Amino acid sequence: AQSVTQLGSHVSVSEGALVLLRCNYSSSVPPYLFWYVQYPNQGLQLLLKYTSAATLVKGINGFEAEFKKSETSFHLTKPSAHMSDAAEYFCAVSVNTGGFKTIFGAGTRLFVKA
Amino acid sequence: GAVVSQHPSWVICKSGTSVKIECRSLDFQATTMFWYRQFPKQSLMLMATSNEGSKATYEQGVEKDKFLINHASLTLSTLTVTSAHPEDSSFYICSASRQGLLHFGNGTRLTVT
């Protein structure tokens, strides 16, 4: 069985500062890992994905994440926060067990201060 | 890119009535769609997996007679909340699977009065 843990339900950064959202996973088989962003009253938008290729994954809006198998982590970073980055972020793990099943983390709300 | 359309985006209904939510894959065929429920400030809870042409697979604790799912075509899945009650008020989101990636609708805010 797989699971996802996002450390910190809320993260607050100043505009222009580094964004770091933490995600740890567990999976008995090689996982696919994802980060999604959700704006209020909207669905989820894919930021980036890891599917066993390069361990450093670049996504949209300047975000990137690094898959570290030894640490079972997939932390999301962005060098410089923008006000428009304020949203809810979800880490997710997906495995193919005769069909993909995706488990989402609890989410991290990112606040960006002017 | 793959587009999933969910309708309506919000609905208010009276207690005891039924509400149908549609999820359409606009530019691809989706043999599998997923329905989630999201409570305020919480993560997505998978309710059921909708398979085209067969019965949906419900997660533990989800009442299949309360949340009816129909996936009659490769581009449309519907979720009907039957005999809705105020505790069914929530944000419902669908997604469609394409080559292992999930594509999400924009969600439906259901308020039962």
Chain B residues near residue A49 by CB distance under 8 angstroms: 101
Q: Does B29 touch chain A (CB under 8 A)?
A: no
pLDDT of residue A40 exceeding 90, the answer is: no
Q: How far is A9 from chain B (nearest CA, A)?
A: 9
What is the mean pLDDT of the segment spanning B103-107?
Answer: 92
Render pLDDT for A77-103 as a digit per residue (tens, 0 to 9).
999 999 999 999 999 998 776 667 788
Q: How confident is the model at residue B22 (pLDDT cuts 50, 70, 90)?
A: very high
Helix, strand or coil, per DSSP, at residue B28: coil
Q: CB-based contact (8 Å) between B43 and chain A?
A: yes
Supply the Cα-derived Rg of chain B in whole angstroms: 13
Q: What is the pLDDT of residue B53?
A: 85
Q: Residue B100's closest chain A neighbor by CA?
A: A100
Cβ–Cβ contacts within 10 Å for residue A53, how many? 8
Between CA A48 and CA A59 the distance in angstroms is 4
Q: How confident is the prediction for chain A on average, in pLDDT?
A: 92
Query: So what's the pLDDT on residue B1?
Result: 65
Question: Residue B110 pLDDT more than 70?
Answer: yes
Q: Which residues of B touch A100 (CB under 8 A)?
A: 97, 100, 102
Average pLDDT of span B26-35: 91
- Give Rg (Cα) of chain A: 14
- Chain B nearest C-alpha distance from A35 (Å): 11
Which element (helix H / strand E) includes B104?
A: strand B101-104
Residue B4 has pLDDT above 70, yes or no: yes
In this complex, the residue of B43, B104, B105 whose CB is nearest that of residue A107 is B43
pLDDT at A58: 95
Question: Where are the strands (E) in chain A, listed by range?
Answer: 3-7, 10-14, 19-26, 32-38, 44-50, 56-58, 64-68, 73-78, 87-96, 100-104, 108-113
Q: Which amino acid is at B85?
A: H
